Amino acid sequence: MMKSAEPVLSVEGLSLSYDTPHGELLALRDVSLTIGRGEIVGLVGESGSGKSSLMQAILQLMPGAARVTSGRILFEGQDLVALGPDGMAELLGDRISVVFQDPMTALNPVLTIARQMIDIQHRRKESRAAKRQRAIEMLRRVRIPDVESKIDRYPHEFSGGMRQRIAIAMALMAEPALLVADEPTTALDATLEIATINLLRELQQEIGCAILFITHHLGVVAELCDRIDIMYAGELVESGPVGPVFADPRHPYTQLLFACDPAQIVETTRHLPAIGGGLPDLIDLPEGCVFAPRCPRADDVCRMQRPADHSAASSDLVRCHYPQAPRLEILP
């Protein structure tokens, strides 16, 4: 992978809360993350870990009750938090693109594929025919068969896998610097998942964009990504290059996660089979480490003090008081 010194995206100490009738819900707390040019970063975590909040913050597509309380999100040196909706609208679909999770609902059901792919080229001062031609070429690149006749069809006339490839084509048409992929393969079956991931990697190499790949599928991260970031209850608990982190995870949560199911985090249950308890209440947080209530190794320090971010041999960041401690003995 080619990399350069300046990252495409760097999230610095980001905290985000939701105003709820019951108090302030601290959805993200002091999250820092960088994505280098052309790098593929896997972001993993259970439901409620904050990975979707982080994605919404990066895209500035947050619900009305959400508020960034501190930190910056630098994209090519520009702070997205301070940018405002108009500035953000300039970037979206041009320098930053997204592929959303559910291909069945992500496309407008009453507009043809051609119409939608022409609409997203609204920044180009070209004729509709030229835009249409560009859309056709892009659909060919994602291997939609028989594009000329299919482009005037509606989304429901395509299969789920095809729709996801159309969504990828739409996202990459502007050759963005950063592609945010929000669980793009979760709704697909295993064979389609592999095909889609291969396609994504191929196009990424041609275009040279960076990808933030949000998933709960650890196998996909190992297969596709350069780096892995693991979130738990609104915090980034571990971050590092894929190989070393998988070989020697340092955070107890990561260790348990890998041990529970090396391929997949079960999205439907919020309770890891090997770890007792559930996610903490994000309105009324525990005093010390956020993972302490569930951590087999937690001591009084863990319960009283918030851990700082440390670095270890395998990981660039471990938010734990004991990053060098021997790995947990986990019984299968």
Interface residues with another protein (CB under 8 A) are: 18, 20, 22-23, 25, 27, 45, 47-53, 59, 61, 88-94, 97-98, 100, 102, 105-111, 119-120, 122-123, 154, 156-157, 167, 170, 234, 270, 279-284
Question: Which DSSP state fits 48?
Answer: T
Is 128 exposed, middle or buried, given 0-12, 13-18 or 19+ CB atoms closer than 10 A? exposed
Shorter beta-carbon distance to another protein: residue 177 or 312: 177
Shorter beta-carbon distance to another protein: residue 89 or 301: 89
Give min distance, CB of 234 to another protein, in A. Answer: 8
Phi, psi torsion values for 83, nearest 5 degrees: -75, -35
Give the strand order in the sheet containing 235-241.
96-99, 178-182, 210-215, 40-44, 227-232, 235-241, 317-319, 309-310
Sign of the Cα torsion 105, 107, 111, 114 reads: negative
Shorter beta-carbon distance to another protein: residue 105 or 305: 105
Check: CB of residue 59 under 8 Å from CB of residue 100.
Answer: no
Q: Which helix (H) or strand (E) holds 120?
A: none
Shorter beta-carbon distance to another protein: residue 155 or 323: 155
Give min distance, CB of 279 to another protein, in A. Answer: 7
Residues 6 or more apart in contact with residue 279 via CB below 8 angstroms: 46, 48, 49, 233, 270
Give min distance, CB of 156 to another protein, in A. Answer: 6
Shorter beta-carbon distance to another protein: residue 2 or 110: 110
Give min distance, CB of 2 to another protein, in A. Answer: 27
Give min distance, CB of 153 to another protein, in A. Answer: 9
Give min distance, CB of 325 to another protein, in A. Answer: 28
Shorter beta-carbon distance to another protein: residue 113 or 312: 113
Structure-token pair, residue 332: 């299968």
